[in-house]
Amino acid sequence: MMNSLIPLHSHKRMGRYSMIEEFEEDLDESTSLQLWLSDLSTDSATRNLGAVLIGIGGMLGFIIGIMLISGNVSDILSGQVEQSGGTADVEGIVISELVSNSSGAEGISEIDVLLYDEDGIVIGSDSTDSGGRFSIEDVPRRSVKLEVAHPGNITVQVLLIPGDHSQITITLREGEGTQVLDMEGESYLRESVLIATIFAIFTLLTGLAGIFGGIEARKGISYKKTWGLAFLGLWSGGLMFVGPLFTLSGMGLVGLSRGQFYDVHSKED
C-alpha cells in the first residue's frame, strides 16, 4: 500500500516543479521585455526616430497639398468630362406655358428639336410626338446646345452634357427673343473647385503641422506640443494611408520616450 502511494506523491511534486519552472520562464520573458522597453524609453535614438517618422508623414501630406493647390482643379474637372468618352441619349419633353389652371402645360407635337456641337454644327435632331416628347440617341458626351424654335414663341437654347439629365423639360412661351438655360452644371463645378481648394489648403496646413511636430519631437522640449502637432499631421493623409502610418509609428515611439521631454521630466522631478 505504501509503495503505491510513493509514486503518486512523486508525480505531484514533479508537476509542481514543472509549473514553477514555467512560471519562472514567463517571468523572465516578461522581465526581459520590460527591460528592453525601459532601455528604449531612455534611449534618445527612440525619440529621434519617432521625430523622423512624424516628419516624413507630415512631409508627404505637405507635398500632396502643394500638388492639389498648384493643379487647376477647374481644368481637371472639365477635362474629365470631355475625355470621359462614350455616348448618351438626350431625351425630354416640350410643353406649352401654363396660362391658367385649366389650360397650358401640355405636350406640343411636331416641334423641331436641334442639337448643336461647340462649333455650331447640327449633330442631331428630332420632332416631338403627340405627347411632346423627343429623343436624340447616341450623342457624344461633350458640351452641346439643344435648341427649340417655333414661330410666335421665344426660342429656347439649353446648354448641357448628354447623359447628365434623364429628362429635359422645355416650356415654350409666347414672345420674341432667345432664352438660354445653362444645365452644364457650372455652378456645381464652382462648388467642386471650392471644396477641392479648401481640402488642398487643409492638407497643406495639417502636413505642415506634422513637419513641425517632428521638429518639436527632435528638440525634446514640449511633449504636449509635439503630440498635438503630430495629431494634426495625421489628418493630412499623405498618400492615403502611408503618411498617417508613418505619423502613427512616430507617435508611438515618442509616447514610449515621453520621459525624455523636458516638460514631462521636470514634473516627475
One domain, residues 62 and 148:
no
Residue 10 domain-assigned (yes or no): no
One domain, residues 76 and 189:
yes
One domain, residues 74 and 201:
yes
b/e per residue, 225-259, with b = 16+ CB within 10 A? bbbebbebbbbbbbeeeebbbbbbbbbebbebbbe
What mean pLDDT is reported for the chain? 81
pLDDT in tens, 9-25: 555 555 555 655 665 56
One domain, residues 196 and 179:
no
220 secondary structure, DSSP code: T
Which three cell numbers, joined as nine digits, stand for 46?
Answer: 527612440
- Of 115, 130, 101, 104, residue with least CA distance to 168: 115
Integer Cα distance of 121 and 141 in angstroms: 15
Q: Write out the residue range of the structural domain in which residue 220 sits.
A: 43-83+185-269
Q: What is the pLDDT of residue 113?
A: 95
Number of domains in the chain: 2
Please, which pLDDT band fits residue 196 given cuts at 50, 70 and 90? confident
One domain, residues 133 and 205:
no
User: Which of the pair, 184 or 75, is modelled with greater confidence?
Assistant: 184
One domain, residues 176 and 93:
yes
Q: What is the pLDDT of residue 109?
A: 92
Which of 7-16, 39-48, 174-183 has the weakest average pLDDT?
7-16
Q: What is the pLDDT of residue 60?
A: 92
Residue 6 has pLDDT above 50, yes or no: no
Q: What is the pLDDT of residue 82?
A: 47
pTM higher than 0.95: no
pLDDT in tens, 89-144: 999 999 988 766 555 578 899 999 999 998 999 999 999 999 999 999 999 988 89
One domain, residues 95 and 173:
yes
One domain, residues 75 and 122:
no
Residue 242 domain-assigned (yes or no): yes
One domain, residues 177 and 228:
no
Residue 30 domain-assigned (yes or no): no
Please, which pLDDT band fits residue 263 given cuts at 50, 70 and 90? confident
Q: The domain that contains 176 carries what CATH number?
A: 2.60.40.10
Residue 19 domain-assigned (yes or no): no
Residue 240 domain-assigned (yes or no): yes
Residue 233 domain-assigned (yes or no): yes
Burial class (CB in 10 A: 0-12, 13-18, 19+), 1: exposed
Which three cell numbers, joined as nine digits, stand for 252?
Answer: 508611438
Q: Is the dihedral of CA 104, 106, 109, 114 positive or negative?
A: positive
pLDDT in tens, 198-242: 888 999 999 999 999 999 999 999 999 999 999 999 898 876 788
One domain, residues 51 and 67:
yes
Q: What is the pLDDT of residue 231?
A: 94
Q: What is the pLDDT of residue 185?
A: 64
One domain, residues 131 and 97:
yes
Which of 56-65, 137-146, 182-191, 227-236 has the weakest average pLDDT?
182-191
Residue 32 domain-assigned (yes or no): no
